[in-house]
Amino acid sequence: MDFEHADAINQAVRLLSLRHRARAATMLAPLGLHPGQEALLLELDRNGAMIQAQLSEALGCEPPSVTLMTRKLEASGHIRRRPAPSDRRASIVELTDSGRELAGQVKRMWCVLAEETVTGLPAGTVAELPGILTAMTANVDTRRSGDPHGRRPGLVAEPGGTTTDRAR
């Protein structure tokens, strides 16, 4: 790939990321949330109570970031934390009733944001986007790669939003 094409791809990804996050922040503010907190609420809504370390892994965040988010969401009454019975040093995090209600509001907002983001794109492109973006994320995810440069050759986005590791 030549530099001009690489630069166009990297700039587009960077700008999308920055502008999507800024738009999300604007939409989350009236709900009393900051970016990242909505992902935590949605993860708990999707999977139920989780140990904080599992939540950190699921969100792709460092544990101190999840600790800060959980403290703020607990203070606002949207989640509760309790010691894990098997390990008193670990905390189990779960939604409260107000957290479940807020997760519903976030879901509605998330739909609006997604619709804004893909406006004007062909339906086929929109259908393929989750798979393409997942493959792109995996390609730069150094946490899961043995390659010191973070490369994962062979990961391909398939039609219908799935990815296949062609290297296996």
Chain segment 9-18, per-residue pLDDT in tens: 999 999 999 9
Same structural domain for residues 48 and 111?
A: yes
The whole-number average pLDDT for the span 109-122 is 97
Same structural domain for residues 156 and 84?
A: no
pLDDT at residue 95, as a whole number: 97
Please tell me which residue, 154 or 82, carries the higher pLDDT value: 82
What is the value of pTM for the model shown? Answer: 0.78
| φ/ψ of residue 75, rounded to 5 | -60, -30
Asked whether the predicted pLDDT for residue 67 surpasses 70, the reply is yes
CA–CA dist 27, 159 (Å, integer):
31
Q: Which residues pair with 157 in a beta bridge?
A: 163
Asked whether the predicted pLDDT for residue 43 surpasses 60, the reply is yes
Asked whether the predicted pLDDT for residue 142 surpasses 80, the reply is no
Same structural domain for residues 16 and 31?
A: yes
CA–CA dist 41, 93 (Å, integer):
10
The domain in which residue 144 lies consists of 120-168
Residue 74, CB-side half-sphere exposure with 13 Å CA sphere: 14
Please calculate the CA angle 84-90-93 and round it to the nearest 5 degrees. Answer: 70
